[in-house]
Structure 1
């Protein structure tokens, strides 16, 4: 059994530095930032802790090995040379998924079947099996990822993507991933003692993620992970990680978090989702049009994902919302405003140039995160 493992926390493009910061906050120091992922070396307890605590990562993968491969023979032999038996038991189920970018070996189905065959050969030999592998035990999903002929083989420790926190009972038409919502909050200077408002809250993802951050509640607390079933990780490491998360939560932290939406149906869904997240009545939900918004406290934060107005007939309505928000916030210079949108005219419509802009992706849509710092942030 390996004492140290190399883990890869995968990330949406543009969020790698946020994920890396979270990994470091967990106490792991050997951290390398790469495109779409963060790599770090740690002991086995990092697998439960990373899955429980990483708010902005998509998955946590365990690196089995990497090498250059331009022929199927190389792929087979080098995959077979890796110590799969260190990670997967005799009865482990090993489905293989794959991707290939800018590589000689571009046929993903072929790569997958060759990797699968190589793993099976290795396991049969190591476990002294004459026939096929049973694969009736816990899931150990392997991935072959080839980029510019560099092959990387990993096992997925998470199971469902980490954005699946387990609280979403309902959603709107274009829901924001929980991991991106958490990143939007983490990219602000908001602290739990400041007011927090999402004026376009939809199904409530941004305010819910803010409340989880505000009370230091581990985002994975209400769900299960693939690696909980693995022989590799003694179960007491999972128990320790869950106990650590329970002790770290600050349920007494008072919060002023409000979610507004023009659609009463979405407000009801948001309220349900917050209850499912274990937040009770911690967040205020209210139906409101943006033109009627009036901050009542100083030094607050607005974080919002307004409609992008890309549908026919919606554009003028959405642009008016941007104008209304800009007009209102002129009177509240102590407030900070953070908005993501794909509308490239946002600053013009809002009536002010952003203090800072950051390029992000909402799924495959390129968006800008417009950041307006309030007077207390400058």
Structure 2
């Protein structure tokens, strides 16, 4: 089959993080655009990308890209693509779509035309008139942006944030992909203490522990492309075996996660157990004001309440002021805080070293980064913790 193009989709603001992850996996030929990173790979790389990408939303197989101003152009250029290389005679291929600033603005019509074009192509290839579509699923998407059509097949199925460990969650859980991005952006290392005083269902702590132990985020789940004939079963088996071998069992990780909500902490403990990192995290039920550590240098990474509901904002801003006072005692630590409150620094009482615009679901947020001093090197060339 030769080289293929894969697209790792990304939440706005995380494109560079996804690019770094793709590069770390060994892929060099990349194009970074809004919401996606396109890279060159082989079909056997589909398992690897799905298993290892922590901050991407999905991995899509790019079938083609072209300009289309009419439905006839859309039909003919879609039909010209080699769909039979991926979709077998009994394959199920639902078509979804989106259109932004394009002459072909009717998404439902675009979906119907793409579906018809694929059917016509496969009818000619397989010599049949009727497709049962009772086999494996090949979710097709037609995306139009400024009259440029991109046709893809989703290799992930459920979004990559669904790791498989979070059977339970609180009302407003942080997406696993965003939590992983927060940890990676902080440059936390497994030899440093990490505290999350608003742990909720434990997502930040769990993602940090998985990063520290080098656990592939997709190791516990299934992907839609595992049932595809075009990807050898051996490729999936080998990718999972390699991921299991890559887990670091020798690291001593110290993560402390707490929340004032007893129910949330119980959920977090269960989730950590399911993720296989319960030995790395100490959970407790306590108010944020009581966090403490004898570590000289460490990290606080957290997702405090935002106060999005009417009447909550004033209480949340009081909390931010208190956070500034409590976190200020950890003067040699680095702190990383995500919130939608644009006046956070004012109430926290300190200007961030850096801030980054991100999205928590549909909520626009800022990731406030307060850099602590670098630990001094000790006589052995390491660092004092």
TM-score (norm 1): 0.97
Which residue, out of 269, 287, 295, partners 2:267? Answer: 269
5+ residue gaps in structure 1?
none
Corresponding position: 1:349 with 2:347:
yes
Match of 1:28 in 2: 27
- Pairwise CA RMSD: 1.2
**CA distance in 2 between partners of 1:51 and 1:262 (Å):** 35
Question: SS in structure 2 opposite 1:145?
Answer: strand
Corresponding position: 1:204 with 2:194:
no
- 1:74-93 aligned at under 5 Å gives the runs 74-93=73-92
Match of 1:219 in 2: 217
Deviation digits for residues 333-358 of structure 1 (CA, Å, limit 9, x no counterpart): 21000000011111111111100010
Offset at 1:173? 1.2
**CA distance in 2 between partners of 1:44 and 1:211 (Å):** 30
**CA distance in 2 between partners of 1:322 and 1:65 (Å):** 49
Offset at 1:377? 7.2
Tell me, yes or no, if the aligned pair for 1:11 and 1:57 is still in contact at 8 Å. Answer: yes
Match of 1:111 in 2: 110
Tell me, yes or no, if the aligned pair for 1:294 and 1:328 is still in contact at 8 Å. Answer: no
Tell me, yes or no, if the aligned pair for 1:212 and 1:218 is still in contact at 8 Å. Answer: yes
Match of 2:63 in 1: 64
Question: SS in structure 1 opposite 2:204?
Answer: helix
Match of 1:14 in 2: 13
Question: SS in structure 1 opposite 2:218?
Answer: coil
Which is worse superposed, 293-302 or 38-47? 293-302
- 1:156-171 aligned at under 5 Å gives the runs 156-171=154-169
**CA distance in 2 between partners of 1:169 and 1:232 (Å):** 31
Match of 1:282 in 2: 280
**CA distance in 1 between partners of 2:372 and 2:283 (Å):** 24
Corresponding position: 1:175 with 2:185:
no
5+ residue gaps in structure 2?
377-385
**CA distance in 1 between partners of 2:141 and 2:258 (Å):** 41
Match of 1:195 in 2: 193
Over 3 Å off, 4+ runs: none
- 1:286-297 aligned at under 5 Å gives the runs 286-297=284-295
Offset at 1:221? 0.4
**CA distance in 2 between partners of 1:330 and 1:273 (Å):** 30
